[in-house]
Structures are given as C-alpha cells and as structure tokens.
Amino acid sequence: MDLIFAVLFCAADKYIFFMINLTEAKLNKDYYVSGFSGLPDKIFRRLCDLGLTEGERVCVRGKSLMKKALLIEVRGYELSLKADIAKGVMLK
Amino acid sequence: MKTNCKQQPLKEVLLVGNPNTGKTTLFNLLTGANEHVGNWHGVTVEEKGREFDCLGQKLRLVDLPGIYSMTALSYEEQVAIDYIRAHSRTKIINICDLNNLQRNLSLTLGLLEYGLDVILAVNCMDKKPLNKLDCKKLSSLLNIPVVELNASKGYGVEELKKQLQTPFSLPPKPKHLSKLPLASIKSQIEISDASRSDYFAVKLLEKDETVAKEIHAEKVVLPENSISLVAKARYDYIAFLQKQCIASSGRVYGASKLDKVFLNRFLAFPIFLLILCGVFYLTFFSFGAWLSDGLNFLLDSTLGKLISSAMTSAFGESSWLTRLVCDALIGGVGTVLSFLPQVGLLFLFLSLLEDSGYLSRVAFASEDLFGKLGLSGKSIYTLLMGFGCSTTAVLTARNMDDKKAKIKTAMLTPYMSCSAKFPIYVVIGGAFFGASNVFVILGLYLLGLAVSVLLSFIYEKTILKSKQQSFILEFPPYRWGGVKRLASVLFENIKTFLVRVGSLLISMNVIVWLLSNFSFTFSYIPESGGASMLESLGVILAPLFAPLGFGTWGAASALLAGVIAKEVVISSIAMFNLASTESQIAASLTNPESMVFFASPSAALSFLVFCLLYCPCISTTAVLGKEIGKKWTAFAVVSQFIVAYIVTLFIYNVARAVESFGLWPVLGILAGLLLIAGCVFKLISTIKKPRACRGCKGCK
C-alpha cells in the first residue's frame, strides 16, 4: 500500500511540478514563472523590470513562422521575446 | 557622475517615462513643438529641450528617450539615464500610461529610489481605459503629486502646470525598500553622498555593472538571486498599490482580434509584403501619379510659361540669365517639384503604418529572418523609415542594444530606396518601360531590400559578427491617430520638401548649371564653344561608367551631383537635356543628340540600379559619421559604391543578354550557373568539415 502511495505521489509530483521552458508552453494556456536559467544578468534584469518575475502568471499568445519569436501576455500587457531568451524562462 | 557646470538661464523640467507612453506628445503639446511621434517604442532617441510657458514662468522642458528602469540596455536609454542623473535637482514629470500602469509604476519606484522630485502624470489616451485610478489615494500612498491627463487632447495640463509651480522637495523613500537587505550592502561600500546610498545598494543588488564600476564595488557579497529579489519587492509593492487604488477591467493592453490575422504564423509576412506593394502602387502609380501629373501640368503650362516669357521679353531669348532661369529653375527644379504629391503620400502612408502599431507586429514576424542575419526584428523599423528619408532613419538605429547590430543596421539603411530617388525611376523608367514600369520600380525596391539582406548576411559571417540580440519588444495597441494628426504629418512633410527644394535644390541646380555652361576661363559655352567645367570633369569619370552602359559625361556628372542630394540627379538630367516636363525628358533620353541619353532599355535599367545603390547623400553620410564613427562611415560609403558597381555590372550584362538572346535561354544559363555554384559551395563545406572518427567522442 505504501509503495502504491509513494509511486502515485511521485507521479503527481512530477505532473504538478514538471518544469518546462517558455518555448515549450502551449498556446493560450496559463503558466506560472518558476525560475530563470542561463540568462545573462542584463537580460534577466530587463525581464524583471518588465514584470516577468518569479511566481507571475504568463501565457503564450503567438509564435512566429519559424518559432524564433514568441508573443506572451504578462501583467496585463503583451510582450514579444526571442526564443533564445524565452528558453531561459522556466515555467510550471 | 557628470554634473552640469554650465550656467542654466532657465529652470529645467525633465519628461521621463516608459517607451511609447506619450512623452513626446506631451512635449509637443506643452511647447508647441512638432517633434516626431509614433506608436512604437524608441521613436525619440536623443534628448530635446525647448522652453515653454508655465503659468507665466518660463521653463525649459526636456524630452528624453523612453526607459524601463534606471539601468540601460541600449544606447538611447543610457542617454536618458545619464541626463537624469546629471540633473537630479530638477523636477521630473514621470508619464505613465493608464492602460499599462503596473509596469509603468515600476519605473516610478526606480526614480523614487534614486531620490528625485517626481510628479506622476498618468496619461489616459483612450475613451475606454483598461484601468481606473484613484489619483488622490495613489498620491497619498506614494507621497508624490499625481495628475491625470490626456497628452493628445490637452485635458489635465493646467493641473500639471500648477504642480510644476511648487518648490523642489524630495519625497520620502518608497516603502518597498524596507523589504530589501540594504543594510548589509551599505556596510560593504563607501559612498560620499549619503542620500544616494539606498540607490547604490539597490543597483548593486541588481548587479548593475556600470554602477558597480562607478563606486568601485565589484566585489561586494550579494545574497542569492538578488536581481529577482529587487524585482519582487517592487512588484509586490505595486500589487499592493493596485489593490488600494486601481480598478482593472481585466482586458489585456495591446491585445486585439486583428492579431489573429496579422500575427498568423503563415499569413503575417505575405500580408506585410502585400501592404507594402499596396502603398507603393497607390503612391507611385494610381492616386499619387494623377496628382503629380496635375501639378506638373499646372507648373509647366502656367507658371513656367509665364516666367519664361517674362524673362525672354526682359533679357532676350539667348541671354545666359534667361537660360539659367528657364533651364535650371523651371526645368530642373520644376521636375522635382512635380513629385511633391507623391513624396507627401509616401510619408503619409509611412506615418500611418507607424501610428497604427502595426510595425511591432511586422518586427515580430520578421524576427525569424532578421535573427539569422544578426539583426533583430527591431531593424525593420529603421529600414522601413529608410524608404522615406535615410538621414532620419539612420538615427533610429540607436534603439538596437548591440553595437555591431546598430552599425550594421545603419550601414544597410541607405540601400533602401529613399523618397528622393523615385523621381529618377518614374522619369527614366517611364521613358523606356512604359506601362510595365510598375514592375521595374517594384523590382528596384525589392532589389534594395535583397541587397541589404545579402550584405547583412555577409557582414555577419565576416567583419560584423554580432552578439546574440536581445529581442524584447512590447506590443502597443492598434490606434488610429485621427484626421488632424494625418493633416499635420502631411503639412510637415510638404513643408520640409518645399524648404529642401527651395534651398538645397535651387542652389545645387544653379551651381550645376553654371558649371555646365561656363568653361574654366569663365566664357559662356553656347556663345564661345569649347568644354564646360563639368564636361572636363565628367569626361574623366565617364569611362568608369562605360562598362555599365552609360558612359556619357552628362550621366556621370549627374551622378556626381547626386551625391549632394539624390533629387539633383533627375533635375540635372532635365537641365542638361533642356527639357522641363516629364514627356520632354522622356523623349530626350532616347535621342542620341541630347547630353544624357541611353542607347537601350538595358542601359537605362543599369542607370536606375546604380542610382538605387550608390553612395548615400551628404546629409546621410554626416549622420552616419556621427552615429557609427568615421571609420565605419568611410567603409559604408566606399563599400556602397563598390557594391553598386558590381550589382549594376551584373544586371546590365544580364539585361543585355536578355535583349539579344531572349528571356528563357538567359534564365536557363543563370539557373545552371546557380546550380553549379551551389554544388561547389556544398562540396567545399563537405571537404572543410572535420570527419568524425569511429567511436569519436569529440576531440580534446
């Protein structure tokens, strides 16, 4: 019984806290920023200035043809980001 | 830190705010200036000051480029931040967009951290704003005056002026600072100015390299994730403020149903090209051409005839003064003047595109292509403005954050066919290609784009390899500027054009006429015979252009004069050929007896291509020199001449081959050559690529 619970808990944990980055997010679905990785300080700071802070709700609204640019909605406005930068924004 | 040592006769007021919140609109409203505004972030790229009357007191208002925080990412942001820091004892009007208050307030907090006397001006541009604000409550919470106004209509400006009358006083530090571990940072650094210690501590937490260097505090121990910490503290405080005094409608700023079409992955780019073609068609062919023909008729048949008959009766038919007025002024300047409606229309359409907010969508869609070329989608703004005037377009390259990308964008802008060049296409192309000139002109515009894309690719691979571009771009909402705004844009551009024609073009034409009608011994050529000054020079240059199919000295000297301003090319040709209307010029261009003539349509095409690509005009060169330095400007000018020469040579020879062998064989040969080149390229890259050994895990 304990084993089953452990497995279930593990799966649920993985399901709920499964980390993806912004480029892998589905269109028009709400996510929450969980962290940042591999971004240079100046870019990270700019994203923070723009309101893309940890725990904030984001939603991908569009992608360009080759998926090199993303359009996201954050803090009540729309912002477009390059995919290279969006890769550094982790979501849950 | 720079301090302003100059004696300032007038008290200054700074306009600070996020990009695209209406700073310049308010600046224009208060000072009566007519600075360029647009629905795009980063239209203003340098500080501009002008005095205005504030309830009887004269003040100097300074408009600064938009910033997101007190740490810069691009050049124009640095300009603004340096200016603010050098003028910290002045009053600051911080404009916020009511529809996007959260992010705008983040800058306000940044300004308050620095300890500035801020007046918060909340700009409400729409009839149905997304947010509702309780100004009094926000004012009491932040301890700064808050004014609600409409920068385009003028509502609320009196209240703002009243606030500017109050004496300079510093508001208390914002409350979110208490949530930050500033004390531990402050203990590690030494700052002479105690009132700035909070600011420096926050900037160190944010890992601002410029500030760290400035106070020699590179080695300060920071808590983990400190950048995030500061941002969270600010935005948590803003969330508190929002709860207290902002009622949000829940709609998203910038979002629109139109984006479903304009931002569609597959449709976005074709739609943009379609819009561009539509603009060119309306400007150059249908609507614009009718207006231009009308004006041409009016100028030539009435005004021109009147002046020339008056001159003839006063000085006689062959007097040099009569010829100067008839050939240089009526013929040369008149030809360019008749393009006034088209230039006006082109600028009108460009400003419509800019105001509507569509350009951000285009930048988004073109990021795929431009990212590969080492540019960013933002370059499209600069390049599109290049269709209007290269000189002003080059300045807008400042909002690129990578220096090399900025140099590249600025260097490529002159390849865009500016509005001064299209009279050349219309007149010369019209003479040789007739109705199919539509496609020739469209082809020329596309050629300019193609050449710049190709060059950008080459530069990226060789001398100007740019770093990764941080393409972060906010989306403004779609907006309609109104008829009044369009009228003012039209008026302003017509005025600029007329002033340019009236000053630069007239003087250039007189100079060119004098040079082409007097010899080095100052004898009047039609009477004495011999070679004029321009002819002696042109003859030296002409052989250079012989391989391109237009080796006459007239064409060579027209091109030479065109370096001053591109309009001079066509006005000189009109003057040399003694023609004053489009049809007269067209007839003279095919006549071998006139000074400038083209033996075949391919020679004419080659001339057009050369005009499109060769050296930028003097004013663009000057601006380039200021923006990217002398070395790169020299490189840009020389490389542009070489590129123009090579491309023209290629096109001329292909066109000649088409003339003699027909279209299909030539196309076949070109396709074959392309295929061979492709194979060779592939072969070389395969040979060059190091082969992986069996079981290889990469060389050490």
Give the pLDDT confidence of A24-38 residue by residue, as tens digits.
888 889 999 998 888
Return the pLDDT at B108.
Answer: 94
Confidence of residue B346 (pLDDT cuts 50, 70, 90): confident
* Predicted confidence (pLDDT) at residue B19 exceeds the cutoff of 70: yes
CB B307 within 8 A of CB B334: no
Which of A74-78, B69-73, B358-362, B519-523 bottoms out in mean pLDDT, i.e. has the lowest? B519-523
Q: Rounded to whole angstroms, how far apart are CA atoms B412 and B424?
A: 21
Q: Give the side-chain half-sphere CA count within 13 A for A40.
A: 10
Return the pLDDT at B47.
Answer: 85
Contact A49/B100, CB-based, under 8 Å? no
Return the pLDDT at B700.
Answer: 46
CB B75 within 8 A of CB B26: no
Residues B187 and B74 grouped into a single domain? no
Question: Residue B688 falls within a domain, yes or no?
Answer: no
* Predicted confidence (pLDDT) at residue B37 exceeds the cutoff of 50: yes
Residues B30 and B120 grouped into a single domain? yes
Residues B107 and B183 grouped into a single domain? no
Question: Residue B261 falls within a domain, yes or no?
Answer: no
Question: Residue B209 falls within a domain, yes or no?
Answer: yes
Tell me how far apart the terminal alpha carbons of chain A are, to the nearest angstrom: 29
H-helix or E-strand spanning residue B120: strand B117-123
Give the pLDDT confidence of B380-407 residue by residue, as tens digits.
888 888 888 888 888 888 777 777 888 8
H-helix or E-strand spanning residue B133: strand B131-133
Confidence of residue B307 (pLDDT cuts 50, 70, 90): confident
Give the SS3 label for residue B122.
Answer: strand
Which one of B216, B248, B280 terminates a domain? B248
CB B238 within 8 A of CB B138: no
Give the SS3 label for residue B117.
Answer: strand
Segments of A1-92 assigned E as strands = 20-21, 30-36, 57-63, 69-74, 77-82, 89-91
Give the pLDDT confidence of B495-541 residue by residue, as tens digits.
988 888 888 888 888 888 888 888 887 777 777 777 788 888 888 88
Question: Residue B229 falls within a domain, yes or no?
Answer: yes
Q: Which of B224, B228, B273 to mutate to test the interface with A (most CBs of A within 10 A)?
A: B228
What mean pLDDT is reported for chain B? 85
Residues B82 and B140 grouped into a single domain? yes
**Domain ranges within chain A, ordered by starting residue:** 18-91
Q: Rounded to whole angstroms, how far apart are CA atoms B287 and B35?
A: 28
Contact A69/B469, CB-based, under 8 Å? no
Place of tokens 């907006």: B479
More confident: B44 or B645 = B645
Residues B194 and B157 grouped into a single domain? no
Residues B23 and B129 grouped into a single domain? yes
Return the pLDDT at B420.
Answer: 86
Burial environment of residue A6 by CB neighbours within 10 A (0 to 12, 13 to 18, 19 or more): exposed
Residues of B in Cβ contact (< 8 Å) with A63 = 265
Residues B90 and B223 grouped into a single domain? no
B231 touches chain A (CB under 8 A): yes
State how far residue B430 is from chain A, nearest Cα, in angstroms.
38
Residues of B in Cβ contact (< 8 Å) with A55 = 232
Highest mean pLDDT among B185-194, B381-390, B456-465, B601-610: B601-610
Contacts of B544 (CB under 8 A, 6+ apart): B556
Question: Residue B106 falls within a domain, yes or no?
Answer: yes
Residues B16 and B156 grouped into a single domain? yes
Which one of B204, B225, B248 terminates a domain? B248
Confidence of residue B127 (pLDDT cuts 50, 70, 90): confident
Task: Show which of residues 33-72 on chain A sit within 8 Å of chain B, judged by CB atoms.
Answer: 36, 41-51, 53-56, 61-66, 68-69, 71
State how far residue A34 is from chain B, nearest Cα, in angstroms.
11
The b-or-e profile of B106-129 (16+ CB within 10 A means b, else e) is bbbbbbbbbbbbbbbbbbbbeeeb
Contacts of B379 (CB under 8 A, 6+ apart): B370, B397, B400, B405, B409, B412
Q: Could you tell me what percent of chain B has a pLDDT over 70?
A: 96
* Angular region, A15: left φ>0, alpha ψ -120 to 50, beta rest: alpha
- Its domain, for residue B145, covers 11-165
Burial environment of residue B159 by CB neighbours within 10 A (0 to 12, 13 to 18, 19 or more): middle
* Predicted confidence (pLDDT) at residue B214 exceeds the cutoff of 60: yes
ipTM of the complex: 0.83
Confidence of residue B408 (pLDDT cuts 50, 70, 90): confident
Total beta-carbon pairs less than 8 A apart between chain A and chain B = 135
State how far residue B49 is from chain A, nearest Cα, in angstroms.
28
CB B376 within 8 A of CB B471: yes
Question: Residue B505 falls within a domain, yes or no?
Answer: no
Contact B231/A53, CB-based, under 8 Å? yes
Residues B69 and B192 grouped into a single domain? no
Question: Residue B684 falls within a domain, yes or no?
Answer: no
Q: Domain of B125: which CATH number? A: 3.40.50.300
Residues B34 and B146 grouped into a single domain? yes
Residue of chain B with shortest Cα separation from A47: B472
Return the pLDDT at B694.
Answer: 62
For residue B570, what are the CA distances in angstroms to B11, B285, B502, B596? 49, 19, 16, 11
Residues B139 and B227 grouped into a single domain? no
The structure tokens listed for B606 are: 């080659």
Return the pLDDT at B160.
Answer: 92
Residues B189 and B158 grouped into a single domain? no
Place of tokens 């619970």: A5
Fold annotation for A18-91: SH3 type barrels. (2.30.30)
Which one of B119, B143, B165 terminates a domain? B165
Q: Rounded to whole angstroms, how far apart are CA atoms B324 and B583?
A: 21
Question: Residue B233 falls within a domain, yes or no?
Answer: yes
Q: Rounded to whole angstroms, how far apart are CA atoms B500 and B181?
A: 59
What's the domain count of chain B? Answer: 2
Contact B472/A64, CB-based, under 8 Å? no
* Predicted confidence (pLDDT) at residue B8 exceeds the cutoff of 60: no
* Predicted confidence (pLDDT) at residue B5 exceeds the cutoff of 50: no
Residues of A in Cβ contact (< 8 Å) with B248 = 76
**Closest CA relative to residue B369, chosen from B383, B390, B385, B355:** B383
H-helix or E-strand spanning residue B48: strand B48-54
